[in-house]
Amino acid sequence: MTEENAANSNKKIAIITGGSRGLGRNAVLSLAKRGVRSIFTYHQNQAEADKVVALATEAGAPAIALQLDVAKASTFADFAQRVSAALGKMGTTRFDYLVNNAGTSSSATVASGSEAELDEQFAVHFKGPFLLTQALLSLINDGGRIINISSGLARVTMPGRAIYGPMKAAVEALTRQMAQELGPRRIAVNMVAPGAIATDFSGGIVRDNPEVNKMVASHTAFGRVGQPDDVGPVIAALLSDDFGWVNAQRIEVSGGMQI
Ligand SMILES: NC(=O)c1ccc[n+]([C@@H]2O[C@H](COP(=O)([O-])OP(=O)(O)OC[C@H]3O[C@@H](n4cnc5c(N)ncnc54)[C@H](OP(=O)(O)O)[C@@H]3O)[C@@H](O)[C@H]2O)c1
């Protein structure tokens, strides 16, 4: 990165949901390496969030962690106020990038999925990003960016992903709607769709279950499952000035899963 880009990056601020672990954590730290400061959220794991704050600060881009449950839309107005206060601490009133990343898994099939699980997954994966983005719209700078985290499972099927996959497919349609509506403000809205990545997600099944790990690797052109380091830097790069003309696109980051 040139000195000029580094200086520009230093002025940028990202909001990332679910930054305490996994892909969100990696995105916070990848952005920090580029000089972008983050206000990120955690749900229950404040200890992990504190570690991410320390690592981002060490990398030269002090971060702020805020608690948020993305399934509780009634708290979003208050969250927007807490974001404003955090921005004030950073010496500004607006931010540049929003990454709707926080998520939880579901292993429901069409036969087994309950109404409660449908409602919970809808709240976390669709209603949350929709209403959180709405609540933060007035705080995003014109010319800013939004990335919604989708999944390879919006494109392909896997047993037990009957609710989760379709929720991510809905997020992809929402992303295009957002891009259309926010075009006049020059806010680009894209989606990153990771393949199966070795994180805590879904009880750490991709990382810790040898059979699942092997099965995913065998269906992936690059012959292995993904790691957080395969995804976070892509998010950071997509938010850079070089990708300013990319809008309403789905970038799958899966090493070529089930192609
Ligand atoms: N890993 C994969 O294989 C994979 C593949 C495709 C897509 N994705 C998507 O990538 C995103 C991140 O997944 P990951 O693998 O990084 O998961 P992860 O390691 O389980 O981390 C989940 C993160 O989201 C936060 N979170 C969970 N529930 C929340 C809620 N209700 N409200 C607010 N924050 C919440 C967690 O906070 P706490 O630390 O406080 O619990 C944590 O920071 C998700 O949207 C997921 O669907 C993952």
For residue 121 and ligand 1, the question of a CB distance below 6 A is answered with no
- The owner of tokens 């899966």 is 254
For residue 196 and ligand 1, the question of a CB distance below 6 A is answered with yes
Closest-CA residue, ligand 1 atom 18, reads 201
Active site residues: 164
**5 C-alpha to ligand 1 centroid (Å):** 30
Strand ordering across the sheet containing 95-100: 64-67, 37-42, 13-16, 95-100, 140-149, 188-194, 250-253
For residue 207 and ligand 1, the question of a CB distance below 6 A is answered with no
For residue 68 and ligand 1, the question of a CB distance below 6 A is answered with yes
Contact assessment for residue 147 and residue 238, using Cβ atoms and an 8 Å cutoff: yes
Q: Which parts of the chain sit beneath pLDDT 50?
A: 2, 4-5, 8
- Ligand 1, residue 49: give the atom nearest the CA: 39
* Beta pairing, strands 250-253 & 188-194: parallel
Domains (range + CATH), the chain: 3-253 (3.40.50.720)
pLDDT in tens, 180-223: 999 999 999 999 999 999 999 999 999 999 999 999 999 999 99
Instruction: Look at residue 101 in the predicted model and tell me its pLDDT.
Output: 98
- Ligand 1, residue 69: give the atom nearest the CA: 32
For residue 120 and ligand 1, the question of a CB distance below 6 A is answered with no
For residue 201 and ligand 1, the question of a CB distance below 6 A is answered with yes
pLDDT in tens, 10-31: 589 999 999 999 999 999 999 9
Closest-CA residue, ligand 1 atom 15, reads 201
- The whole model's pTM is what? 0.97
Instruction: Look at residue 11 in the predicted model and tell me its pLDDT.
Output: 86
- Ligand 1, residue 48: give the atom nearest the CA: 39
Structure tokens at 65: 């962690």
Q: Amino acid letter at 72? A: K
Q: How far apart are CA 21 and CA 52, in angstroms?
A: 8
The residues, any chain, with a CB within 8 Å of residue 254's CB and separated by 6 or more, are 152, 193, 194, 195, 196, 220, 226
CA-based radius of gyration for the chain = 17
Cα-based torsion angle of the residue sequence 231, 235, 238, 239 in order, rounded to the nearest 10 degrees? -160
Contact assessment for residue 114 and residue 108, using Cβ atoms and an 8 Å cutoff: yes
E strand segments, the chain: 13-16, 37-42, 64-67, 95-100, 140-149, 188-194, 250-253
**22 C-alpha to ligand 1 centroid (Å):** 7
